[in-house]
Structure 1
């Protein structure tokens, strides 16, 4: 009885008849299929087959199973995003943005491609088919996923870090217009009594993002007096989306903060008699879509040029710095931004009294100039 040949520890060398050998082995040939099984047929003896397998083994000894970009995203990056949301380090809205960019742009083009087969030329061609904003977001997301691949030694380099040309083709441009203080006050007078009034105060006079302006409960508003000025201090701990859905997490952990509304608008905030500061009349908060429609409609009726509702926060940052003269580091803290140095990030813990004093001082100095730009105040 003939002795069975022992199985090779790497690949196989089988008789294919007529003096041919069929060789099978595992390798990454960088043909878009990743680390997978290959076969070839040669003419020759068993020894010829063994020698060919030996050469292939040397050539592919460093090959290893290579994940596709989709596998890397799902195994390494997506769990990290979820963990950051659960810990409060990232807002659910940001998570939604990443997932949307992945589904719309990155996955359809590269999801099934092994990460070692993503080439700069292909990435450049892919980017040129998108708008400027989509290209930037998509490239950034790909780069974060590939960074994980480099970390876990599944890819030698991060090709998303090449110096790519970003297309200038734009979709709908977001307006960067802001109001001066006098323009803001005219707009507030125009929307008084509408669903946009209290949210506009919170954004344009107290630094809130749109979702933040809709989230406070009336019980989270308190009255204080500084230098004879009555202020409303509002705790920002949650946000509300476009449709009125409440999220108990803000954009970042540092976004949780007190904000201060100056007088005389503080009186309007303190006079709210409902469960939510921006109540819809049924014990629930209004959504940003409702506030935005009321804002646009009433300003149009008044013959005023509306800026996007979200730009009220930008307006606050601009006039507080350049018209009211508040220090930049104080404004950053009042906006809920993470500091830029160790002290600001880990040690600064300003109390609401500090913010209230800063707001009162700034408005009192401005009024003392008696320049008439504050209208009826």
Structure 2
């Protein structure tokens, strides 16, 4: 349906010669300055004229919300609705709220949204670490997006270009990845530690960090493929940095199987045969799964202790993608499916829900071809 907007309201075709007008006003009915809708019979021009009259009558009573009011009035209710609808995990909401409480609200909460300018944002980000700056800026962007939606501001200043001096120091995340040689060396350094098996699942199997920690021993299966014993590992849940288990993955498409080739598959299968407390493939020793925090600590100690270059755990998955595409030559559409991405087009339709045996076949062939070429 065609829509015509102004900076104050909207005038849309409602069908049958009618126009639907939406605008902001305080009708003094106890609700305050809220969004209203009005349907009139007439042309677009007549709708514009009525909208202009309404603006004259009501635009001057428009209060400017603070960043805190925008968060509490619009962002938080919508986020909670997304959790209820299954579009956002409870844990993700908790993370967003933590960012708000720790970094956004203390500095910007009491500021009118019209006063949040790019320079204010730049000064606010100065001195933050890369991770904190990125997460805090994402939170602020989402809150101010709601202010644009409800026409409190015309554009979102948090989406404008941040000066390079700030971006270089605070906003760039470490994008370093391993090639196969470096990956092999780092995994060997982690062998025998709590970080080894989950690092294999990430760096050799494409798991996200939380996914690698959520596997149970009885779910791992040995499959013979082209003369190679691979470990087929289902990804159905994830564990957060504090060790909390969630049966909901990042996206619906994230539920999949990953395939670990030899020699790492033999270690994963051996770990699955152990009588670990709680039945977790990566146990914490007291009946639960290893937490993301403990995984990170073990990874840091192992790799740093060996004098090797250490990359962030999240980059192991990126390294897997790089290795599989550029060193093993696997096709993009297959890699997308192995990573739990939805994909699109004919290829995605062809690879839709392939059997575990099919994944085992193509992955084992890719690794065998690599070894034959060495």
Q: Normalization by structure 1: what TM-score?
A: 0.71
CA deviation after TM superposition for structure 1 residue 117, in Å: 5.0
1:90-132: CA deviations, max 9, x gaps?
Answer: 4455434432332334323432334345455545554557566
Deviates more, 1:258-267 or 1:133-142: 133-142
Distance 1:86 1:62, change over 3 A: same
CA distance in 2, matches of 1:125, 1:228: 60
Q: CA deviation at 1:342?
A: 9.6
Matched, 1:331 2:335: yes
The alignment status of 1:237 with 2:236, answered yes or no, reads: yes
Q: CA deviation at 1:359?
A: 0.8
Cα drift, residue 205 of structure 1:
1.0
Cα drift, residue 210 of structure 1: 1.8
In the alignment, what sits opposite 2:192? Answer: 193
- Alpha-carbon contact 1:89-1:253 (below 8 Å) kept: no
1:255 aligns with 2:254: yes
* 1:170-211 superposed Cα distances (whole Å, 9 cap, x missing partner): 259754333221332233333322212211211111011222
Contact kept, 8 Å, 1:131 with 1:168, in 2: the verdict is: no
Q: CA 1:151–1:209 in structure 2 vs 1: closer, same or farther (change >3 Å)?
A: same
Q: Which residue of 2 aligns with 1:145?
A: 143
2:101 alignment partner, one of 88, 100, 103:
103
Alignment of structure 1 residues 197-276 onto 2, 5 Å: 197-271=196-270, 272=272, 273=274, 274=276, 275-276=279-280
Deviation per CA, 1:33-55: give whole Å up to 9, x if none.
x98xxxxxxxxxxxxxxxxxxxx
- Alpha carbons of 1:158 and 1:360: their partners in 2 closer, same or farther (altered >3 Å)? same
Instruction: Give the deviation of 1:83 after TM superposition.
Output: 3.4
Distance 1:209 1:341 in 2: 25
| Partner Cα distance (1:278, 1:305) in 2 | 24
For the residues of structure 2 that align with 1:172 and 1:229, how far apart are their CA atoms?
43
Q: What secondary structure is seen at the aligned counterpart in 2 of 1:170?
A: helix
Pair 1:307-2:305 in alignment: no
Q: Larger C-alpha radius of gyration, 1 or 2?
A: 1
| Post-superposition offset of 1:260 | 0.9
**In the aligned structure 2, how far is the partner of 1:204 from the partner of 1:69?**
41
Identify if the C-alpha distance between structure 1 residues 199 and 357 changes in structure 2 by more than 3 Å, giving closer, same or farther.
Answer: same
Name the counterpart of 1:290: 294
Is contact 1:216–1:235 with CA below 8 Å preserved after alignment?
A: yes
Give the distance between the partners of 1:359 and 1:133, measured in 2 at CA: 34
What runs of 5+ residues in structure 2 fail to find an aligned partner? Answer: 1-24, 27-31, 34-54
Match of 2:79 in 1: 81
Closer, same or farther: CA 170–230 of 1 in aligned 2, 3 Å:
same
Which piece of structure 1 moves more, 233-242 or 120-129?
120-129
Higher helix residue share:
2
Q: Structure 1's 115 and 297: CA in aligned 2 closer, same or farther, altered over 3 A?
A: closer
- Whether the aligned pair in 2 keeps the contact of 1:91 and 1:252 (CA below 8 Å) is no
Equivalent in the alignment of 1:47: none
Contact 1:220 1:235 in 2 (8 A): yes
Instruction: Assess if the C-alpha contact under 8 Å between 1:239 and 1:250 holds in 2.
Output: yes
* Aligned counterpart, 1:319: 323
Misfit runs of 4+, over 6 Å: 57-60
Deviations 1:57-95 (A, max 9, x none): 968654334433222212221222233344443445543
Q: What is the alpha-carbon distance in structure 2 between the residues aligned to residue 291 and residue 137 of structure 1? A: 21
> Structure 2 length normalisation: TM-score?
0.71
Q: Which moved more, 1:254-263 or 1:172-181?
A: 172-181
Once residues 182 and 157 of structure 1 are traced to their aligned partners in structure 2, the CA distance between those partners, rounded to angstroms, is 47
Distance change in 2, residues 1:300/1:87 (3 Å): same
